[in-house]
Structure 1
């Protein structure tokens, strides 16, 4: 099969599913899940990779029993058509997202094209942002923010919660008056008088955005906040599909959006979501729930689109977990290079590093599903 024609059909003949041991699961360790890498192959030596940031035992079972088999021998000419393989299955954006991204990687490798260009991206490098979680006290937080600023990050996203918000953000703003600051509320607030007072106080601290102040299902609360606050309200967690974004735009529930490949169901809907948001006048950044370089590389490719104008989310310095791709996907002095010299993701998967973290590996093809020996190496 030639790979240069845009109408050439591709068939996935096998999928490799690799369930990883989580390096730092924290409170999620007792859930019995973990990250998953997927590799799709076309039978002619070309493969593509995707990542499920976290799969529960039920999701792992659905991936190997339903989603992966549905893709085997499913014919498509462009990755935008891949989703029809599992449209009859209950919607699970993280599973669909990993397979969709893997097919985009495969398709761009078949054509010798960088994934960023295949998606329509035009940038050669990205400004990077980083998230700083809550710490034991404000001084510890200031020290951590200073470390990230020293590493070159241009935007810092602070996790906030009731009781850890106004004074904390004010302290950071006082120490770093010119730093681009953003607050991630994680859906932890309600419309109680105390919580609303805190959100109004944040409104005067020159924030880029306040992300997900209320529970994901409470879109009406976001609409009311967006109408009242001068600071843009950003949405991320409430959006699990393009339909969700359409509804949020119609409800005027925000002014900015965090586009996450896994949360929205893959690169195909994520690319469309950027266009929808920009057309509505919303600002866009590409966040990432990815835990490996496979997922982060897909995020970087997506963020190369001109509509994603805000800094892309990247891990900060000090992450001691060995990345699973080479070269690692990282920011350097606050800038993330877009790999344009190689096709696909532009990063090779480090099989030795993957093997060290593999809990279970399966091969799915037309014959069914079988386990793979941990030491098996594939391209």
Structure 2
């Protein structure tokens, strides 16, 4: 296929409810949608998951736009691409900027699947026709409000509950949740809020039979996590520390992690995500798909990836209605009794809702061969 045209939309969508983590509160999500068109008029869609400030990592919406426009698009527009795996190879001369790379690569994966009359899940080698879904819940001012939020999602059938923690909002919060929900699969996400000075505090979490504690230490650390894991019974899951297959290999060999969170944007695209999945499967390390408050486009990519066989833990890909009054795809992503049915239409399986896209579009850019 030949990439004849790239269209970018800068989007702004108000969140249905504020979402609070250890590094900030989100009331709206600004992001990029990218459409790639081939010589036959087919189009594929990708989404940048970078935030508008560098809270999660060093990338932002504006740096993604710069890298995509000035460096990545010239590499692929007007060029012939045989398979999406070639995209990451062509982008390899550009250091890091994984979320920018993933935005473009995701659109080309969608386009490739459509051209070959496959679902994106099939193109990736997925095996499942429905996926288990967990939910990620932000920090609440009152623990009793958090308990009621968790209760609502448990009653809706979500298969795993993840709650954000931070210093001063951790052990007692988890204690109360475990008291109220003794049998619910529960995990804590620290978003790098702790250090090795907090070992004794973190060891207290071992009492609550958590599925995992996610990224307790620094976002660029692998070594200290190995030290911490030796002192914890609870499995450590790495998120922000894992940007590539090489990071994964080193973390596993050092004993820094027992579970890997795969986020497509963080690792640079579906090709690298699949490589990490395959390696972890060989090593007996379970993986799950993390979320970045995506719109329906990014959410659809997560659904497709999660159909691979080593995604044995429920991910963060909740339904559209969890975050948005109106999503940018049709139909929207729907969760029923804790499962999402994998769509059977070609590509990502959802159609762009152009009326909604136009409503939330702030700026547009077009690039042609």
Matched residues in 2 for 1:251 and 1:318: separation? 37
Give the corresponding residue for 2:284. Answer: 281
1:93: Cα distance to partner? Answer: 0.6
Residue 210 (1) aligns with residue 213 (2) = yes
Which has the greater radius of gyration? 1
Per-residue CA deviation, residues 295-315 of structure 1 (Å, 9 max, x unaligned), is: 010011000011111102123
Aligned with 2:337 (options 333, 336, 340): 333
Give the corresponding residue for 2:88. Answer: 83
Per-residue CA deviation, residues 243-270 of structure 1 (Å, 9 max, x unaligned), is: 2212212222100010000111111000
Structure 1: state its 5+ residue gaps: 1-9, 367-379
With over 3 angstroms needed to count, the CA separation of the structure-2 counterparts of 1:168 and 1:290, relative to structure 1, is closer
Aligned with 1:225 (options 221, 225, 228): 228
Give the corresponding residue for 2:323. Answer: 319
TM-score where L is the length of structure 1: 0.89
User: What SS is found at the alignment partner of 1:23?
Assistant: strand
Residue 241 (1) aligns with residue 237 (2) = no
Per-residue CA deviation, residues 93-139 of structure 1 (Å, 9 max, x unaligned), is: 10111111111110110011111111001101111100111101110
Per-residue CA deviation, residues 273-307 of structure 1 (Å, 9 max, x unaligned), is: 11111222211111121421100100110000111
Give the corresponding residue for 1:12. Answer: 3
Whether the 8 Å CA contact 2:188–2:210 is kept in 1: the answer is yes
Matched residues in 2 for 1:117 and 1:364: separation? 29
Whether the 8 Å CA contact 2:64–2:99 is kept in 1: the answer is no
User: What SS is found at the alignment partner of 2:158?
Assistant: coil
Give the corresponding residue for 2:30. Answer: 34
With over 3 angstroms needed to count, the CA separation of the structure-2 counterparts of 1:69 and 1:28, relative to structure 1, is farther
Per-residue CA deviation, residues 63-94 of structure 1 (Å, 9 max, x unaligned), is: 11211222112222111111233222232110
Whether the 8 Å CA contact 2:103–2:269 is kept in 1: the answer is yes
Moved over 4 A (4+): 24-31
Whether the 8 Å CA contact 1:300–1:312 is kept in 2: the answer is no
Whether the 8 Å CA contact 1:12–1:42 is kept in 2: the answer is yes
Residue 60 (1) aligns with residue 65 (2) = yes
> Which 10-residue stretch deviates more, 153-162 or 217-226?
217-226
Per-residue CA deviation, residues 202-240 of structure 1 (Å, 9 max, x unaligned), is: 012100001001012222111012222111100011112
Alignment RMSD = 1.9
Give the corresponding residue for 2:53. Answer: none
1:53: Cα distance to partner? Answer: 1.5
Give the total of aligned pairs: 353
1:165: Cα distance to partner? Answer: 0.9
Q: How do 1:298-309 residues align onto structure 2 when only pairs under 5 Å count? A: 298-309=301-312
Whether the 8 Å CA contact 1:128–1:336 is kept in 2: the answer is yes
Aligned with 1:265 (options 254, 263, 268): 268
Whether the 8 Å CA contact 1:15–1:72 is kept in 2: the answer is yes
Aligned with 1:23 (options 10, 14, 34): 14
